């Protein structure tokens, strides 16, 4: 007794807006004479959750039931359907079932995200490719001034240092990647279709990762001067590339102007005196040695985001957001945004947007961001007043699992949940990744290799056979990454075949001169496809069922792309009649216009297929629907 998938039974696609109509349609079994939708509010933006609602749907001539309704308050709502049978019994219909349960049996509910106001994400942020650069490790040119504790590697291709047994990892080995190095490689990034560079922190710091900020208003001398950073922005912009900075506002470095634990700065730091202008920025339990820090790491004391001086530094005139956004930075990625109080996040996003509606704000959230709970509080990231996007780790997990031979239905379920829950504009801007500075390198993760010790992992290199298998999987994974809703975020060097396990082994130097040219050509093709079909790739998402393949469509008024993936280690022969008629019918319903096909055009080869084709083992085919007439 099937019911319509929420994508075809609910409008709008994804989230709704408080006070604006939501339309649902329900296909009930013949014995159901009346249908109700039952809604309950789980989280509310303003105040307490409202009372549950039970609304009756109107019968349609087709035997289906439908209703248009508005919800009074923003937040997260859950809903199910109830069908009244001829004998008066109720059947309960919930998410993830094709049947129904009578009376006491409970089924899961669907989620309806209801925004306070619709936030229009800048169009540039929904197109192209984001390229994440770990600033110390991408490219080094010119003189390398070094005035830090620790050491500067002489040889670019050295392996990053790891902690010795029973010793603390200090992240104090440097390679000297700099702004001028990035400028020298901008044409290369253009060849990959890059539209935005996401830089790891570049502010003054004592570590190679720079998440322990020493001075928010200074560029780290190893990365370059302020003039060189300004030149990077200008040269990137000249090529159509925007710059996004990593905003680390939950904590500072212990070795900083503000905390000054080691007395390396002329300022009076919070660690040195209670008379410090920065004293109320931090949480002390046993002054000065006992202080709250991020995840217990004493090098990064946690900041009190309510401290007036701190807020003025970050949000005020001449402050952090003002200085760097005025210089031309177009995006901010908010590190550990779930550690920031909600009111501070709102104020921060509002301040960033003071510099134009084309500013882009991304949060580091590892879960479904619509229902993120941190420190016992629900976070209203996508209610229209805060984030534009998040780092899309749920897609990453689904993509890597599928590319390793996983189940297509499980992939579709994981991706569909995100697409159902997020506002559509935010969905189109999600930062889709398969690896980052916080995860194992994608090609290493896809190899399945797992040496036992840190030392073994540091010295490990994939065999030729392992690499060939992992590379094939990465090409499949990246195709999904680039063609799902959202914007791909390519972690520097993944396109070159860089290997590495956990931090810091995933933060090696880009292998200039020894890249995997096959992979680079593959990523360049994917970047070209994103440019050529930019409008289509902001379309909606539809999955088709198939016995052995993953099939989904990206459908928009500008056209329809169909992606067919095969994670098995054998080729699969496909008849278009197996999936195309039903998928195009759903596309027609979604777009409110008839979608018919003369054939399918392979976007890689340009060849047309009409009846049958082969999907290679651990591979994918991408087709543009050739419209009839």
Predicted confidence band of residue 135 (pLDDT cuts 50, 70, 90):
very high
Q: Can you tell me which residue has the tokens 């169909």?
A: 562
pLDDT in tens, 304-318: 999 999 999 999 999
4's CB contacts (< 8 A; 6+ apart) are 25, 26, 27
Average pLDDT over residues 363-368: 98
String of DSSP letters for 118-129: -----GGGGSSE
| Mean pLDDT rounded to a whole number for the chain | 94
User: What is the tens place of the pLDDT at every residue in 149-163?
Assistant: 999 999 999 999 998
Active-site pick, 136, 173, 220, 335: 335
How far lies 171's CA from each of 150, 235, 596, in Å? 9, 30, 57
Distance CA 4, CA 533 (A): 29
Token pair, residue 209, equals 């990762």
Contact 204, 219 (CB under 8 A): yes
Check if the beta carbon of residue 620 is closer than 8 Å to that of residue 479.
yes
pLDDT tens across 88-107, in order?
888 888 876 544 555 555 56
Do 386 and 338 touch, CB atoms closer than 8 A? no
pLDDT per residue as tens digits for the range 377-422: 999 999 999 999 999 999 999 999 999 999 999 999 999 999 999 9
Cα separation, 520 vs 493, in Å, equals 9
Question: Closest Cα to residue 628, out of 578, 592, 584, 562?
Answer: 584
- The pairing of beta strand 203-205 with beta strand 284-286: unpaired
Q: Which residues, in sequence order, are CB contacts of 336 under 8 Å at separation 6+?
A: 250, 294, 364
What is the rounded CA–CA span in Å between residue 95 and residue 108? Answer: 5
- The answer to whether the predicted template modeling score (pTM) of the entire model surpasses 0.85 is yes
Beta strands at 75-85 and 32-44: parallel, antiparallel or unpaired = antiparallel
Q: And the tokens for 55?
A: 């609304």
Question: Which domains occur in the chain, in start order?
Answer: 6-115 (2.60.40.10), 136-248+305-532 (3.20.20.80), 251-304 (3.90.400), 539-627 (2.60.40.1180)
Q: Reduced to 3 states, what is the DSSP secondary structure of residue 113?
A: strand
Backbone angles phi, psi at 431, to 5 degrees: -85, 95
Let me know: does 496 contact 520? Beta carbons within 8 Å.
Answer: yes
CA distances from 94 to 21, 81, 541 (A): 22, 7, 21
Question: 10 Å Cβ neighbour count for 457?
Answer: 18
Q: Find the catalytic residue in 204, 220, 364, 494.
A: 364
> Which residue has 């200039």 as its token pair?
512
Query: Is 335 among the residues known to form the active site?
Result: yes
């Amino acid at each position: 007794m099937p019911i319509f998938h929420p994508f075809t039974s609910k409008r709008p696609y994804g989230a709704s807006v408080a006070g604006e109509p939501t339309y649902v349609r329900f296909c009930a079994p013949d014995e159901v004479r009346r249908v109700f939708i039952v809604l309950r509010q789980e989280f509310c933006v303003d105040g307490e959750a409202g009372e549950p609602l039970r609304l009756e749907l109107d019968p349609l001539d087709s035997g289906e039931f439908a209703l248009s309704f508005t919800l009074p308050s923003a937040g997260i709502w859950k809903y199910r359907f109830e069908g009244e049978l001829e004998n008066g019994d109720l059947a309960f219909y919930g998410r993830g079932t094709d049947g129904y349960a009578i009376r006491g049996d409970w089924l899961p509910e669907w989620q309806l995200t209801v925004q306070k106001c619709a936030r229009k994400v800048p169009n540039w942020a929904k197109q192209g490719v984001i390229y994440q650069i770990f600033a110390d490790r991408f490219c080094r040119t010119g003189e390398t001034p070094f005035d830090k504790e620790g050491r500067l590697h002489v040889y670019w291709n050295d392996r990053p240092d790891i902690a010795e047994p029973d010793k603390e990892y200090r992240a104090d080995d440097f390679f000297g990647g700099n702004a001028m190095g990035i400028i020298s490689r901008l044409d290369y990034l253009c060849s990959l279709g890059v539209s935005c560079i996401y830089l790891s922190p570049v502010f003054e710091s004592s570590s190679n990762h720079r998440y322990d900020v020493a001075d928010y208003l200074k560029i780290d001398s190893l990365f370059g001067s302020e003039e060189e950073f300004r030149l990077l922005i200008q040269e990137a912009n000249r090529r159509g590339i925007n710059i996004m900075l990593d905003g680390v506002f939950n904590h500072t470095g212990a070795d900083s102007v503000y905390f000054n634990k080691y007395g390396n700065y002329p300022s009076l730091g919070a660690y040195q005196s209670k008379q410090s202008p920065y004293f109320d920025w931090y949480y002390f339990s046993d002054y000065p040695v006992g202080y709250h820090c991020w995840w217990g790491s004493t090098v990064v004391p946690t900041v009190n985001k309510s401290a007036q001086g701190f807020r003025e530094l970050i949000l005020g005139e001449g402050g952090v957001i003002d200085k760097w956004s005025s210089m031309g930075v177009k995006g901010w990625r908010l590190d550990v945004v779930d550690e920031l109080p909600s009111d501070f996040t709102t104020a921060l996003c509002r301040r960033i947007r003071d510099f134009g509606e084309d500013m882009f704000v991304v949060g580091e959230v590892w879960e479904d961001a619509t229902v993120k709970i941190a420190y016992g509080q629900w976070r209203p990231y996508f209610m229209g007043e805060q984030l534009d996007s998040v780092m899309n780790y749920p897609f990453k997990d689904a993509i890597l699992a599928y590319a390793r031979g996983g189940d297509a239905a499980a992939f579709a379920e994981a991706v569909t949940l995100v697409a159902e829950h997020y506002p559509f504009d935010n969905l189109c801007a999600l930062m889709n990744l398969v690896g980052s500075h916080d995860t194992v390198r994608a090609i290493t993760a896809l190899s399945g290799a797992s040496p036992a010790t840190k030392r073994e992992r540091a010295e490990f290199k994939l065999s030729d056979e392992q690499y060939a298998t992992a590379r094939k999987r990465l090409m499949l994974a990246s195709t999904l990454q680039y063609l799902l809703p959202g914007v791909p975020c390519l972690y520097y060097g993944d396109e070159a075949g860089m290997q590495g396990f956990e931090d810091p082994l995933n933060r090696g130097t880009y292998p200039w001169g020894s890249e995997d040219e096959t992979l680079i050509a593959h990523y360049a093709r994917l970047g070209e496809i994103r440019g050529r079909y930019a409008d289509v790739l902001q379309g909606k998402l539809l999955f088709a069922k198939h016995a052995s393949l993953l099939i989904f469509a990206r459908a928009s008024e500008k056209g329809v792309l169909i992606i067919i993936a095969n994670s098995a280690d054998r080729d699969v022969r496909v008849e278009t009649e197996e999936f195309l008629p039903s998928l195009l019918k759903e596309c027609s319903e979604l777009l409110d216009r008839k979608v018919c096909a003369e054939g399918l055009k392979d976007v890689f080869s340009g060849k047309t297929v009409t009846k049958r084709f082969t999907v290679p083992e651990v591979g994918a085919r991408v087709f543009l629907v050739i419209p009839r007439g």
